[in-house]
A and B are shown apart, each in its own frame.
Chain A
Amino acid sequence: MPTITLDKERFSSYVGRNISVEDMAKQLPWLGTDIEDVAQDSVKIEYNPNRVDFSSIAGVARAFCGLMGWETGLPKYDVKQGNITLTVDKSVAQVRPYIVCATVRGLKIDSDTIRELMELQEALHWMIGRDRKKASIGVHKLDAVTPPFSYVTCAPDGVKFVPLDKTEEMTPQDVLEKHEKGIAYKSQVDWAPRYPLVVDCKGQILSFPPIINGELTKVDENTHDLFIEVTGTDLNAVQRSLNVLVTALADMGGTIETVNVTYSDHVLVTPDLTPQKMTLNVDFSNMRLGLDFSEKQTIDALQKSRLDAKIVEKGVLDVTIPAYRTDILHEIDLVEEVAVGYGIFRLEPTKPATVTTGKKHIVTEITTAVRQIMIGLGFTEALNFVLTNEDDNYYKMLQKPEGLVTLANPVSTDYSIIRNDLLPSLMKNLAVSKHHVFPQRMFEVSDVIKLDDNSETYTERRIHLAAVSSHPTANFTEIKSVLESLLTNLGFENWTVTETNNPSFLQGRAATISLNDMTLGVVGEIHPELLNNFELENPTGAFEIDLQKIIDKNK
């Protein structure tokens, strides 16, 4: 989750009063942020990725004022009509089709502002821009270049410019090959025959989006006026990114001016901070929250969440939403705004009127019975991951891998497949436990996954039961007796035992167990070579049965 550090002084200046870090830490969680750290003069918070407007101190302060009741309702932003134009060349449609722009003038910029601005950009790149794919931002020192601007494309080696924080000129091609940002983001453009560029009227390069800005327009402490361009593959994403950014800059003291963005067939005047409108039914809100609010109470709560609302008819509100709130998709989001504005801490928990009786799943019922019998037989339960690897699950067991369910992106070689039997897990458990007192008797009744062509996921989750008994006098007779005792206590009578060959077991000491011609599983004395593979020294009897067959019978 994204984080932001709120400097006490800066935060205080945004909210217009002195506030202690203790009070900040006490109140901020009611906005839905987590307190990560409280330092002497700052509070670090974690915020949810839907609230991109919390990616600047100004944005958090705005919401905080509402919550505290210091400033409520929709924040007003003046947008002056500007005279700067940016022309969009048709060729950008092939690589990165959208651009929107703004200028912000009259800012006092210090090193803290620059840092806040960079953090804000990074947050937007990630949360709205999806790692610069849908939208990426270029912020420029306006004085360094000459409008009007153009959004064009060029051949990969068609121009040269000095990228940000570098001293040597590079072509876009060089940037992708050598520059750290170029290497990181090259997949966004390297497939295209021509790369996007933002240039001024003299052909000077502002940026090579979404990779890097030019050094020419680097924002420093002498900068007062900013030119902002947001490019991307999604028009909504670029507009929302711009809106979140310019409103934060306005809160920092800047004046927003529009830019005329001229596409071949239409003109966009951006930024467009027109508030979004949405209808809220007070009954709907009350029903979801369990409240009995009047229109007035609902409006008050919305205003504390920095929205505005007016009654259009009885029980129906017309809600206006500021342009930086990109997270409000549906009426239900307004309901949450009511709850947060009212204060979650003021909501008294109630008990639902729904009356039902509970019921265990059949799998739980049967596995609980099996567990009880196995424990009574002196076995201790193990619980293992279903994630495993071929070596443990097959080769060490002297078995050939068959019907594997495998991961596309395993995090380690230890966990690359999903088990389709339990016994290998128990052998591993014996290996881990070999320095403990013998006899060691363990069982697991749990999940395996098998391939299944008839299922929607082409796999099937099944419950197996496996058990091992390991000690100096363990043998086939003992473990078979355990299995038969289990079957008796599960209420079965007529099972059959047939000798079988299974590489995991000693020849002549392995059998399949069947119930009315349905094979349940295998029981036997573990092959010494397998014991050597797991570095075990005691004779070991084992069985594994497909409990799912018994469960399905009981359904």
Chain B
Amino acid sequence: MPELRENEQKTLLALEQLKGKASVEQIVDVSGLAHAAVMRGVLSLTEDKLIVTHEQKQTLVSLSEEGSYHAQHGLPERRLIDSLAKLGGDAAVNSVIEDAGLEKKFVSVALGWLNRKGWATIKQGNLNPLKTPPFGDDEKLIQLLTKKTPLIVEDLSLELQKSIPNLKGRKLVEIEEKTLRELELTDDGWALVKQGIIVQQEVSQLTPELIRTGNWRNVKLRRFDVTAPGPVSFPGKIHPVQQIIQQVKEIFLEMGFTEIRGDMVETAFWNFDALFQPQDHPARDMVDTFYLANPKQGKLPKKGVVDAVAATHENGWTTGSRGWEYKWSPQEAKKLVLRTHTTATTIRYLTEHKEPPVKVFSVDRVYRNEKLDYKHLAEFHQIEGIIMDCKVTLRDLMGTLKEFYKKLGLEKVQFWPSYFPYTEPSLQSTVYVPELKNWVELCGMGIFRPEVLAPLGVKHPVLAWGGGLERLILLKLGIEDIRLLYKNDLGWIRRNPVCQQ
């Protein structure tokens, strides 16, 4: 015998009391259970074959608002024919209406039905009765409905049933289809209730009180439907971009790099001049770079460094370069910008740390004067790594990149010649992204030019590479619109898994 829950026991007992057959509503009344509890009980009792459910379709008829009005006052055509009889059986239409006190809105309906029912005709404004009409089936039904509404159509006499379409057409009654469920105890069900059911009280929440007193032994803990959907929980979590920043930082740390950090506001000197970007270089244009209005200018470093950088721009200084052959302006170099690359921070660091080996990295905010759209941001993150040592080579740089990509899960890498103003030789790398089935350009790289290093007193080769973090994030998260990353829509952050499968 199945173990019954409290609601199931009470449902069976109610059915027994109702002589083995009843509707859900009746069981609710008798058992005192909630409707939902009865329904849950019915489901499992049916499964256990203790009860069966009989379903019966029923059509219910009830009076409409207008129907109720006529039920009170009589159908309009009845009111006219009655008044006509009162006035002697032949009278002017207007006087009949007046006598009946018929509302204006019912006049044409009433005259129409007098005619259709064959009760009277109108001749030259006079109403002539044809017969004294008996009480019609429609009127009988309306009368019945005033006593009890709704009525079950299937229980009505055939004549009354036939009057329904007509009344429905006149919008005096409303029809509703309903499925009636009647529950009946099966033989097994009867056998069970005959044995006698003792209802045991169930407890849904185990309480400290029950645990402490040991009373939990005396109560029945309700079994839950463990498959039922419950409320959703949202954990606090890390921002998806921050998560990938941390992953990339971990990779650098695993590869033995030290993290560096610098100001987002930089002088043009460190952002451009120290990196041998001539002052008329298009990248320094207002169209590409954010300049500050307040504060407008910063301070240049000590004179020796400034002079060496200036001379390198103008004529190559002692570097063996021909330089950019123009008059270098300290005013231009003092301008404050939002750094366009983290290389500004890197080169500052190198100036302070000239002893090899140096292996440093940053993953940090950079800026381009760009209008925001689904592909472009004005503010984003750059990944950058550098190695300075006595004997590092371009091939070492390629090998380092391969290792870096491999740790990001990107196995296939290709290198191409490229150009950056402050590295030579310069390479571009593309990686194969299996999810996209395509090669994607990621990091650029190169060896810092002597024109960059010599004025700052750095004597050993510096390998450098860098790329946009957001590009990598778009690949990893499969996002089309880059703006989504910084909208901070809580719904998006909540949906985004902490662990990408």
Contact = CB atoms under 8 A, between A and B. Distances in A.
Interface of A: 29-32, 34, 48-51, 130, 133-134, 234, 236, 287-291, 329-333, 335-336, 339-340, 344-345, 347-361, 363-364, 368, 371, 374-387, 404-412, 415, 418, 425, 428-429, 432-433, 435-437, 440-442, 447, 449, 451, 455-461
**Which of A49, A130, A288, A386 is packed against the most chain B CB atoms within 10 Å?**
A288
A133 B391 CA distance: 42
Which of A378, A386, A425, A457 is packed against the most chain B CB atoms within 10 Å?
A457
Contact of A289 (B255, B387, B395, B417): B395
Interface residues of B, number: 102
Interface of B: 232, 234-239, 241-242, 246, 249, 252-261, 263-267, 280, 282, 286, 290-299, 301, 316, 319-323, 325-326, 336, 338, 356-357, 359, 365, 367, 369-372, 378-379, 387, 389, 391-403, 414-419, 424-428, 447, 449-451, 461, 463, 485-491, 493-494
A50 B291 CA distance: 25
B257 to A, nearest CB: 5
B292 A456 contact: no
A291 B391 CA distance: 12
Contact of A409 (B290, B424, B449): B290
B253 A330 contact: no
Nearest to B421: A50
Contact of B232 (A34, A288, A437): A437
Contacts of A340: 417, 425
Given A371-B238, A380-B234, A339 B291 contact: no
Ranked nearest first, the 3 interchain pairs of A and B with the lowest CB-CB distance are: A290-B393, A32-B417, A48-B419
Given A290-B393, A329-B316, A381-B242, A358 B255 contact: yes
Contacts of B296: 408
Contacts of A377: 236
Contacts of B238: 371, 375, 381
A13 to B, nearest CB: 26
Nearest to B425: A336
Given A336-B417, A412-B371, A351 B399 contact: yes
Contacts of B401: 349
A339 B425 contact: yes
A349 B263 contact: no
A287 B389 CA distance: 12
A32 B265 contact: no
Contacts of A29: 416-417
Contacts of A442: 488, 490
B458 to A, nearest CB: 14
B242 A380 contact: no
B275 to A, nearest CB: 14
A124 to B, nearest CB: 14
Contact of B295 (A134, A291, A405): A405
A406 B292 contact: yes
B239 A383 contact: yes
Contacts of B286: 408-409
A264 to B, nearest CB: 23
A288 B359 contact: no
A289 B379 CA distance: 35
A344 B416 contact: yes
A316 B356 CA distance: 28
Contacts of B265: 405, 418, 449, 457, 459, 461
A330 B257 contact: no
Given A405-B294, A429-B490, A411 B371 contact: yes
B236 A380 contact: yes
11 contacts: A30-B417, A289-B395, A335-B424, A348-B395, A350-B398, A352-B389, A353-B389, A363-B261, A405-B295, A409-B286, A436-B491
Given A48-B419, A358-B254, A440-B490, 17 more contacts: A329-B451, A332-B425, A349-B401, A371-B242, A386-B264, A404-B294, A405-B295, A409-B290, A411-B370, A429-B489, A429-B490, A433-B488, A436-B491, A455-B263, A457-B267, A458-B297, A459-B295
